[in-house]
Structure 1
């Protein structure tokens, strides 16, 4: 019984120390693709981001937004036309992609996705 308890405690401690890799600086600029679902159909969108702007291409539409970095891993996109704002947070990174969560500014509902570097 004690051995099992010690194993559980050690496993819990080891897992609680795990932190996903977050090299957010590597993803501040570039060209990326992402998968999304629209009306039950899976689609692929693309976006290009530089220090000041993000241009998104999806479902035969183009949206532009200003980019304001809050820290190395969080930024706010503000749509140029509608002025709607989206809070983005990079949760983890790999060699060619990052996992993020986003929500409209002021809303609690968060959605996760993954963006893959294409250039």
Structure 2
């Protein structure tokens, strides 16, 4: 009986470990998007428009333009074109983890940093 449970649990574990969520990243390379996050206990929304080469983001009335360098279909690096501080000079790596028909879940953080955050962007067009 114990042997059956071990085999069953092993099979279930392998199924879960092998599951890959859908990633139709090509559908999200260009377009208009909205991302909402909690910052200091307050819900904040960023909107951004992306084409294959640049991303223009708006947050609290401030507009930033960043260059885009695609590493592969689901990962890209953003670099602020007009940084106003050393912090803004640091490139951001974004990796699309999963997609739906109208949104994608992503992980982001400074290039080279182990500190990553996650979020979900919703396509507006």
Q: Distance in 1 between matches of 2:41 and 2:82?
A: 27
Find the counterpart in structure 1 of residue 6 from structure 2.
5
How many angstroms does 1:3 deviate by? 2.0
CA RMSD of aligned residues (A): 1.1
Find the counterpart in structure 2 of residue 117 from structure 1.
123
How many pairs does the alignment contain?
119
Find the counterpart in structure 2 of residue 73 from structure 1.
74
Seen in structure 2, the aligned counterparts of structure 1 residues 7 and 103 have a Cα distance that, compared at 3 Å, is: same
1:46-61 → structure 2 map (5 Å cutoff): 46-61=47-62
Q: Could you tell me the TM-score, scaled by structure 1's length?
A: 0.94
Unaligned runs of 5+ in 2: 84-88
Q: Distance in 1 between matches of 2:81 and 2:37?
A: 22
Q: Distance in 1 between matches of 2:59 and 2:97?
A: 23
Higher relative helix content: 2
How many angstroms does 1:106 deviate by? 2.2
How many angstroms does 1:2 deviate by? 2.0
Q: Could you tell me the TM-score, scaled by structure 2's length?
A: 0.90
